[in-house]
Amino acid sequence: DLLREGQEVLVQVAKDPIAAKGARLTCHISLPGRHLVCMPTINHVGVSRRIERDDERRRLREFVEQNRPQGLGFIVRTASGRQHEKRVKADIDYLARLWEEIWAKSNAVSAPALVYEDLNPVLRVIRDWVNEDIDKIIVDSKYHFQEIQRFVGNFMPFLKQKVDLYHGDIPIFDAYNLSNEIHRA
């Protein structure tokens, strides 16, 4: 009753295919960020149950409610507990821009088409671990350098000037004495 033949529907792969079973799909899109999960198809703000203090849960819910774009739902992740509101707001902005890009691309292509693929490990590290406290990101791969520049240019512009491409003759881990530190650890 809900779908008709030929109708285009935006879906997310919830579980990859296994053997003869196809992928499990959902229309409830979820986009993970560092502190939040964006749920663009659900107009609600929730807070992880693992944030136990009621005052902290209330503070985070109210902050996200006041700062979210209309119609976008969010779940506050456990990692957000006791986080500075500036970082949570940056996550709201990042996820809202990401959803805008996905929605625009979905309207520009015909089904079947891939409109978004989760970030690769390099960009996930940038999204999840890098913040304004970082002084510099040094990359020894031109491909990854360009990829990081594109990503931070779109979603974390304050980082763009902090990303450098390493040009040294010796391996980067040796140049910064990381090999010895890893060995000692």
Which residues lie across from 46 on neighbouring strands? 75
The string of pLDDT tens digits covering residues 32-72 is 988 899 999 999 999 988 888 888 889 999 999 999 999 99
Cα torsion through 23, 29, 31, 36, rounded to 10: -130
What is the model's pLDDT at position 180?
Answer: 86
Q: What gap in Å lies between CA 156 and CA 126, rounded to an integer?
A: 9
Scored b (16 or more CB within 10 A) or e, 44-77 reads ebebbeebeeeebbebbbebbeeebeeebbbbbb
Angle, helices 142-155 vs 121-129, to 10°: value is: 40
> Is the pLDDT at 144 greater than 90, yes or no?
yes
Whether residue 25 is predicted with pLDDT greater than 60 in this model: the reply is yes
Query: Could you tell me the pLDDT band of residue 79, with boundaries at 50, 70 and 90?
Result: low
* Cross-strand pairs, 47: 76
Q: What is the pLDDT of residues 88-142, one digit of tens each?
A: 898 899 899 999 999 999 999 998 999 999 889 999 999 888 877 889 999 999 9
pLDDT at 155: 78
| Amino acid symbol at 14 | A
Q: Residue 5 to residues 8, 9, 12, 57, 114: CA-CA distances in angstroms?
A: 9, 11, 19, 44, 20
What is the Cα–Cα distance from 66 to 62, expressed in whole angstroms?
Answer: 6
Average pLDDT for residues 147-171, to the nearest whole number?
A: 90
Residue 81 confidence class, pLDDT cut points 50, 70, 90: low
